[in-house]
Amino acid sequence: MFARVPGVVRVFYKGCVWRKKSKEKSIYLTFDDGPVPEVTPLVLDMLDEYGWKATFFCVGENVQKYPELYNEILRRGHRTGNHTFNHLKGFSTGVEEYVENVRKASVHIHSNLFRPPHGRLRQRQKNTLQPDYEIIMWDLLTCDYDKSLTPEQIINKVKRFSRNGSIVLFHDSIKAKNNMLAVLPRAIEFWNEQGYKSEIF
């Protein structure tokens, strides 16, 4: 899995946001697949400890199950985005079904931000969603969900590929929990040492 998607791939996703331009050294920290009670509160507490803000791309059915947790994300000053209702794969889902699933999630997630699960989106899906959503991809994929990777390997990737305006992707999911919680504080400490500040969309 690429830490950074090659430029040739990004060409096919015209109009999507992969990295933000900023005059100051900024990191756009993002989390996918939550909220879940086993992980998201731990992330929120950690972000509070370091004074960092993030954008959480939430799965609609999780928000439906845990509305108080979703509201807690917002209450603590973070931003949210739509990640479909059922974490659908764009390449294996028809356009109408996919867009309808995003609309279903929007009942629970009031945001103009969208990130496709797995970063996969057909052109017609993208074109249909873009009038209503800013589609946020990523500049640095941590692969925290990959259990074959150690926290040390992941933090080394973060240190190597972080740059001004990077959109960094972690997951507040059970699958990614151990790696993410081990790496996140080290990543924030590294960014602080390098003079980066947290930004949200």
What span, in angstroms and rounded, lies between the C-alpha atoms of 3 and 162?
A: 10
β strands within the chain, DSSP E = 26-32, 55-58, 79-82, 113-114, 134-135, 140-141, 166-171, 197-199
Single out the residue of 174, 97, 92 nearest to residue 128, CA to CA. Answer: 97
Single out the residue of 192, 198, 182, 118 nearest to residue 144, CA to CA. Answer: 182
State the catalytic residue, choosing from 78, 87, 108, 171.
Answer: 171
- Give yes or no: 171 in active site: yes
What span, in angstroms and rounded, lies between the C-alpha atoms of 158 and 133?
A: 28
Give the DSSP H or E segment for 103. helix 95-106
Q: Are 130 and 14 in contact (CB under 8 A)?
A: no
Written as six digits, the tokens of 74 are: 């917002």
The catalytic residue positions are 32, 171
